[in-house]
Amino acid sequence: MPNSFSLEQLAREIGATFTGDASIVLTGVSSLEKAGPNDLAFLTNSRYASSVSQTKSPVILTDKELPGISKTFLLSSNPYAALAKVIGLFYPPTKRPEGIQSGAWVEVGARVDLTASVSAGVVISKGAQIGARTVLYPGVFIGENVRVGEDCIVYPNVTIRENCFLGKRVILQPGVVVGSDGFGFAKDGEEYKKIPQVGNVVLEDDVELGANVCVDRAVLGSTVIGKGSKLDNLIQIGHNVVIGSNTVMAALTGISGSTQVGNNVIMGGQVGLAGHLKIGDNVTLATRTGVMEDILEKGVYWGSPSCKMNEEMKNVAAYRQLPELIKRIRVLEKALEKIRVVNDHEK
């Protein structure tokens, strides 16, 4: 069940300020449209400001007071980050029982911390290590010599294959596969011969992978996802890819083998990167960008093949004029043909 907080307590917990009655008690958090009289509502996008006057919520979490609105305001310079804290306070994570539950299979030689939670249906192979307070949900497979750090959450039906390494506070959503074989084949006559993939995957501290993300193991060495990086659902990371810290990717993005991605990179949905590329720090790739060459200069890129956003916007504007330009060219061609006929007749 969610907790309850007075406005004063809530402001103190998240490091915010407030206006109005400090003793107002809030028992939940909701959107402006659905909030009840005991809910905190939030305004993190100015396009919804018109809904504030109609909400039943007595308190609005936002960045500044709205003139002419008779509401109490909980104020934060970063309301979206404050909202994350608020939700965590009202709805703390469910506490899982410590220890190895009946129906789990732990092979001899595996080491599981006494404070870890191992659910029924989990398989932990020999040589694996599971850190303190880590939670493994039903159906998780842990391969040989895998190391999972402290305070990780591994949701149902995740596979972590042999020799892979997870740091602290890693979150893997359902269906993630870490350490699948990379797509490596050598042409031998008319056949393709499989290249053994004997490397591993390293997920550094505070990485989160969305549902059904696949991260291929390296041919040799490691595929690496850096500290604090967050990947959305249905993303493919090829073998020997190295991703820096605090990089975020939206769904359906794919990165081909041996590409290196820098720190603080942002990728929209359906971005595709060819193999053996380098993407520098602080690069933003807009939705459906196709990258075929290195991008070392920070900035916003778009299009396929990719180019600077402002250049691609000019290209798009030109594309939209093509139908009208074609019509005009046909009119001009007909006019020129008439002139040619007249000239030929006069000769």
For the annotated catalytic residues, the residue numbers are 239
DSSP characters for 249-263? E-TT-EE-TT-EE-T
Beta strand 200-203 with 236-237: parallel, antiparallel or unpaired?
unpaired
Phi, psi of 274 (to 5 degrees): -70, 170
Report the number of secondary-structure helices (H) and strands (E) in the chain: 3, 40
Candidates 162, 248, 138, 145; CA nearest to 154 is 138
Maximum separation of any 2 CA atoms in the chain, in Å: 102
3-state DSSP assignment of residue 58: coil
List the beta strands (DSSP E) in 151-280. Answer: 153-154, 159-160, 165-166, 171-172, 177-180, 185-188, 191-194, 200-203, 208-209, 214-216, 222-225, 230-231, 236-237, 242-243, 248-249, 254-255, 260-261, 266-267, 272-273, 278-279
Q: Which helix (H) or strand (E) holds 6?
A: strand 5-6
Query: Assign residue 75 a region: left if phi > 0, alpha if psi is -120 to 50, beta otherwise?
Result: beta
Rounded-to-integer distance, Cα 144 and Cα 127, Å: 5
Pairing of strands 191-194, 185-188: antiparallel
